[in-house]
Structure 1
Amino acid sequence: MFVIPDDLPIALTPFTFLLGSWSGSGVVSYPVEGAATTEIEFFQRVEFTPLSTGKLEYRSIVSDSQGALITQEQGYWMLAQISTADQPGPGLLPGSGKPMIETRDDLELLRNKNDGFEIEAIITNSDSVSELYFGQIKGARVDIATDAVLRSPNSKEYTAGQRMFGLVEGALLWAWDMAAIGSPLRSHASARLEKQVD
């Protein structure tokens, strides 16, 4: 069971099951070009923090079994909707401050034919890769796939990703498929995270 904070923007209501801090462990199993499949256990802490702008801030820290940092990610998740003059940006341009979704009826207008909501997420990791994801949130499940990948010419090859997050018996389970370093899109990592009480 999860509680909806009183001050949660209506636009973030579909994301309620993700809110808060989660930690747990998972497994990476992925072939590396010219070498055997890499298999390791990892530990992860994830935080989903609601912002007053109607966006969800995402942060992830992943370490190995010895506690050494593997990678960090951060980004923003939101309902997919066309920006208006009311929204801030680009750059530092202010908006009117009026939320695009003010009522539950406004939110319901965005529900898709699959009874979910279209979402987008921008995720940047400490390995000089940024991903733009599109997908949907339906009930307590998120399915997203990359629309674009931006990476430094100095980073390792990474061309596409698909991620799934779901709440199962109170635990947050996720799976990540990727196409990278010579391999086509395939299973890369998965984890089971438990909600942390602050």
Structure 2
Amino acid sequence: MFTLPEGLPVELNPLAFLVGTWSGVGVVSSKFVNAEEPIEQKFQQQLTFSVGTGNYITYHATSRLLGLATDGSEDIELPAELGFWHLVRNAESADHGPTLLPGSGEPSIKSAEDLEKLRNERGGFDIEASIIHPSGAYEFYSGQVKAGRIDMRTVPGSHMPGHLVEAGKAWGYAERMYGTLTQEGVNKLLW
């Protein structure tokens, strides 16, 4: 049985299934702007989602590409990703920021009834995620969370530094999917 993490703001209940540390192996498919075909590579990833001090969840991921040597023995450690995920809603005085300015007053979402007002016409909640890489690349995702599943895609305005474009590493967009399931009484996250 799933229980909400202690101290989780009501506003983050739709994202609660993410909270924790998850690891797994999968295949990533990447197609760069100038490439003929996508490149598919087996990878291992560890994700940590933690409750922040406001209306967001902090995301940290470490990854490695598996078996890239001809004998399949060499793994390549990749740079980490860091991000912040939240539900889409209007800004209010209780929110912290910009920069280091504290919020003032009470948040408007204090109950399940308040949260329901954010539900979209598709029955889910609109979300945004900002993910940054040590290279300076910045991915801004928009999507929705519904019934333990997140679908999101980068939006125009995601930042691609010039040095990556010049190196032929520019991409047009990215998509991510995260979902939860319970198998033999154990909660699992798929992505």
TM-score range, shorter chain: 0.7 to 0.9
Deviations along 1:150-169, one digit per CA (max 9) or x if unpaired, are 12111121231121111134
State the superposition RMSD in angstroms.
1.9
Higher relative CO (Cα under 8 Å, sequence separation at least 6) belongs to 1
* Higher share of residues assigned strand: 1
- Provide the residue aligned with 1:82 in structure 2: 90
Residue 157 (structure 1) aligned to one of 164, 170, 175: 170
Deviations along 1:147-196, one digit per CA (max 9) or x if unpaired, are 2311211112123112111113433222xxxxxxxxxxxxxxxxxxxxxx
For the Cα contact (< 8 Å) 1:8–1:52, is it kept in 2? no
- Provide the residue aligned with 2:123 in structure 1: 115
In 2, the alpha carbon distance for the partners of 1:100 and 1:110 equals 11
Q: TM-score, normalised by structure 2?
A: 0.82
Give the deviation of 1:83 after TM superposition. 0.7
Distance 1:96 1:37, change over 3 A: closer
Give the deviation of 1:109 after TM superposition. 0.8
Pairing of 1:33-48 with structure 2 (within 5 A): 33=34, 37-48=38-49
- 1:84 partner SS: coil
Give the deviation of 1:110 after TM superposition. 0.7
Pairing of 1:18-97 with structure 2 (within 5 A): 18-31=18-31, 33=34, 37-65=38-66, 66-96=74-104
Q: TM-score, normalised by structure 1?
A: 0.79
- Provide the residue aligned with 2:9 in structure 1: 9
- Provide the residue aligned with 2:106 in structure 1: 98
Give the deviation of 1:29 after TM superposition. 3.5
In 2, the alpha carbon distance for the partners of 1:31 and 1:144 equals 18
Give the deviation of 1:97 after TM superposition. 5.3
How many residues are aligned here? 174
- 2:173 partner SS: strand
Give the deviation of 1:94 after TM superposition. 1.7
Report the residue type matching 2:3 in the other structure: V
- Provide the residue aligned with 1:177 in structure 2: none
Report the residue type matching 1:173 in the other structure: L
For the Cα contact (< 8 Å) 1:9–1:52, is it kept in 2? no
For the Cα contact (< 8 Å) 1:17–1:167, is it kept in 2? yes
For the Cα contact (< 8 Å) 1:53–1:99, is it kept in 2? no
Deviations along 1:72-106, one digit per CA (max 9) or x if unpaired, are 11100001011122212111222115223111111
Deviates more, 1:67-76 or 1:8-17: 67-76
For the Cα contact (< 8 Å) 1:20–1:47, is it kept in 2? yes
Report the residue type matching 2:49 in the other structure: F
1:146 aligns with 2:154: yes
In 1, the alpha carbon distance for the partners of 2:76 and 2:5 equals 34
